[in-house]
Amino acid sequence: MKNSLTVILLFIFLSAYSQEHFSTISGNVKDVYGKPLPFASVLIEGLQLGVLTDDNGAYTIDKVPQGRRTIVVSFIGYTTRSKVVEIKNNTEKITLNYTLEENVENLDEVNVNGKSKETKLETKGFAVNAIKTEEASLRNIQTNELLNTTVGVKIRQNGGLGSDVTYSLNGLSGNSVRIFIDGIPISTYGNSFNLNSIPPSMIKNIEVYKGVVPGYLADDALGGAINIVLHNDAKTNFNASISYGSFNTLQASVNGLYRFEKSGLTIKASLFHNYSDNDYKVSGRSVVVTGLGGVQTPITARRFNDAYRSTGGRAEIGYTDVKWADQFFIGITGSDDYKEVQHGAFMTITPYKDRFLESDALLGSITYQKKNLFTKGLDVNINGLYGKRNRAVNDTVSWAYSWTGERAIDFRGDEYQYTWRSQQEGGPTLAKIKRNVASIRTGISYALNGNHKFSANHVYSGIDREDSDALQSVLENTFVGTRDLNKNIYSLTYELTALDEKLNTNLFVKHYQQKTTSVDPAIESDENGNDIIVDEVVSSNKNYDGYGFAASYEIVPNVTLLTSAEKAIRLPNETEIFGNDGDNVVANSSIDPESSNNYNLGFRFGNFNIKKNAFTISTNIFTRNIKDRIGLPIETSLNVNDELIIYVNQGSGTSKGFDAQLNYSYNNNFGLNFNISKFDLKIENQGIEVDVPNTPFFTMNGGLRYSFKNIFQKKSRLNAFYNVYFTDKFSFLTAQGSNTVGNEFFEVPEQLSQDIGLSYAFPNNKFVVSFDIKNIFDEAVYDNLSVQKPGRAFYLKLNYAINKF
């Protein structure tokens, strides 16, 4: 690992000052209210040079020759503006900002705008959604909530803020879906730095790939991948926000970047803090009080052992937009969290009290990006992490408790203790898991010309794990076991663009290699009867290959056919193999990888503009043929109250369905979005094909937004939001035989949750106040294994931003 980083650094610095120097014009384009205008046209008169602004209204034009130049900016529905600049020999960078006014004359014909980065991504053939976070970062919305509004995505959260989360993409969920931060597997960062804790303000955008994952995200993502792209802008900026609301929930974040224009030296940092008591009300079949004679009385109770706290940050220093690097950073990421545990995998009639988890991580990072390295078309991208992660489980209370928070009583009325002397079965524990972790992603691509591109990617992930428990004997802790996992994923990709960019194809192959080793010291007797120490070793080294393609064809302007397929492999992860006491997971060293043949076929219509109307419609039909699916055992009425879980190979199965979404806006003021996802997920259980339990097969999400201009103050903007989430009923119990009487006891009912919100942007657009009400009608909302989620909640958020100072 160290040698690899040394070679990489040497390679980087050898490229220094090898690039030709060009003058650059950059800036941003906004309306009179300070709102960015994406996809505005920026052209230099007399030259074949021009670009479209990005989603933030920013633009950059490179390789501008010297002389007197006129730069013209135009946008549909707005007046055109131009500025003249003089570019001299020693001119390196020029900044030109534009403010456009709305044009009273409207066009009657249909207009087709240039493609944004998100549109280009969504029309490459993959079943992918690109999610913007700019608007969400100003509201009381967590990153997971933002993902939950995306078509085909279902967030399975086991409670409130900080609770266990799994992600479902078209029916494939759990560890079949890989999460990345800038292409690095998020598992490397540990529990304390995850999508529960990272605020949307730290995120530039989110890419969601369903079923088929491109080669540059080289990993064993069977059902899809979610890539969190953090802000990498090289412009000086600052953002701070604080939010407070129900259940004593506090969330705060600070992000900032400062760049020295002459040298390119750049410093950036981000901090976050989250806290919640999570003391929301719950009810249901397990929320009861047991009285004399064992009589159980249903009650409505508050969760009393579910508090969550997370604190973390990242600091980086390096260079941006210099001759030898577009970006080069060395940084450090640290995080720490505390999570109380109210119950096991299921809500039980005797909840936990004083059982809690603690996690922390400290990792160093290196980032290097350079386009046109040595020669035009050669791009290099390197991200590396190395550091330590720790997790501790504290469970030493032997008394039983009821949902009132008081000690439970037996049928005689006496308080009682568990014979195993802890909240979870298995005995008291102060278990600690220490990990040394490493991950590095390397990507090299070469564009032969505008039509052919080749790329190679490699991701290495390594975990060196050591378990211990302070409550075990000295002898047990002396002979502590170790767990090692090393994984390498390689990919090669070829991209073809043809027929005037109407046809895009992407062909890729992947190679998966994973080695796991468990070592547990033990005492045995030799042939002479003497005690000796031996290592019990369980290891495996497995190799697999996969391949796939994605293709798109623009039938007519802005009507695109999309298709993709992949033979995907998903290797079991550390928790599934080695177990994890903190998450109530038992080890299973014999678990096998799962595989799937994934297919997508869809259409994308838009973005179309008719007068002031703009809309996009997209659809996707999919099928997943799964072998050796990894998941929890198929539940029966005999084990639904177990506190411990184990991951197993459930068997072979299929997932078939469709999803569709509509995005509509009018005059940049009114917005509507709607999506629907429906599928079947079946698996063979004891020779019988059954629906996979604990899986919602039908979901719908919708949202409305309207902006009021000049409310209370000129150049201010008031935004009103409404969101609705529908989940059809589903069961977390598999029907046994033809007699299904009583199975409704295990059925999660149909759910409809609604949120509303307001945000007010002051005239300078630096200060935004927002107010949100979640689950406005206080509906009972459930998720994993019928664990209840929070009811109605209120949140107030203040956000302050400086884009340039």
**DSSP track, 144-192:** HHHHHTSTTEEEEESSSTT--EEEEETTB-GGGEEEEETTEEGGGT-TT
**DSSP track, 425-471:** TT--EEEEEEEEEEEEEEEEEEESSSSEEEEEEEEEEEEEEEEEETT
Q: Which residues pair with 162 in a beta bridge?
A: none
- What confidence tens digit (pLDDT) does each residue in 383-428 have? 999 999 999 999 999 999 999 999 999 888 899 999 999 998 878 9
Gap between the Cα atoms of 54 and 36, Å rounded: 9
The answer to whether 302 touches 342, Cβ cutoff 8 Å, is no
State the residue for tokens 């994605």.
550
Per-residue tokens: 284: 């249901």
The answer to whether 61 touches 51, Cβ cutoff 8 Å, is yes
CA distances from residue 558 to 80, 114, 130, 552, 645 in whole angstroms, order as listed: 25, 10, 17, 12, 48
Left, alpha or beta for 791 (phi > 0: left; psi -120 to 50: alpha)? beta
Strands across the sheet with 67-74, in order?
49-52, 41-44, 67-74, 81-87
From the DSSP assignment, how many helices (H) and strands (E) are in the chain?
Answer: 5, 47
Per-residue tokens: 6: 């040394």
Gap between the Cα atoms of 325 and 380, Å rounded: 10
Gap between the Cα atoms of 240 and 138, Å rounded: 10
How far is C-alpha 34 from the geometric centre of its chain's CA atoms? 30
Backbone phi and psi for residue 295, each to the nearest 5 degrees, phi listed first: -70, 130
Per-residue tokens: 740: 């299904």
Gap between the Cα atoms of 312 and 309, Å rounded: 10
Gap between the Cα atoms of 646 and 506, Å rounded: 38
Please tell me the predicted confidence (pLDDT) of residue 704. 94
Gap between the Cα atoms of 524 and 521, Å rounded: 10
Please tell me the predicted confidence (pLDDT) of residue 152. 82
Per-residue tokens: 310: 């997370």
Using only the alpha carbons of the chain, give its radius of gyration.
Answer: 28
CA distances from residue 523 to 470, 475, 529, 676 in whole angstroms, order as listed: 20, 11, 12, 59
Please tell me the predicted confidence (pLDDT) of residue 685. 67
Gap between the Cα atoms of 179 and 188, Å rounded: 10
Compute how many other C-beta atoms are within 10 angstroms of the C-beta atom of residue 429: 21
Give per-residue burial for 637-671: e unless 16+ CB within 10 Å, then b: eeebebebbebbbbbbbbbbbbbbbbbebeebeeb
Please tell me the predicted confidence (pLDDT) of residue 583. 64
Backbone phi and psi for residue 452, each to the nearest 5 degrees, phi listed first: -125, 135
Q: Which residues pair with 782 in a beta bridge?
A: 788
Gap between the Cα atoms of 292 and 414, Å rounded: 9
- What confidence tens digit (pLDDT) does each residue in 40-51 have? 889 888 776 888
The answer to whether 228 touches 236, Cβ cutoff 8 Å, is no
Instruction: Let me know the angle formed at the C-alpha of 152 by 665 and 189, rounded to the nearest 5 degrees.
Output: 105
Backbone phi and psi for residue 11, each to the nearest 5 degrees, phi listed first: -60, -40
Please tell me the predicted confidence (pLDDT) of residue 352. 95
DSSP 8-state code for residue 188: G
Per-residue tokens: 274: 């989250």
The SS3 of residue 248 is helix
Residue ranges in the chain modelled with pLDDT below 50? 1-21, 104-113, 636-641, 737
Per-residue tokens: 684: 């063979």
The answer to whether 404 touches 387, Cβ cutoff 8 Å, is no
- What confidence tens digit (pLDDT) does each residue in 694-724 have? 888 999 999 999 999 888 888 888 999 999 9
Contacts of 773 (CB under 8 A, 6+ apart): 755, 756, 757, 792, 793, 794, 795
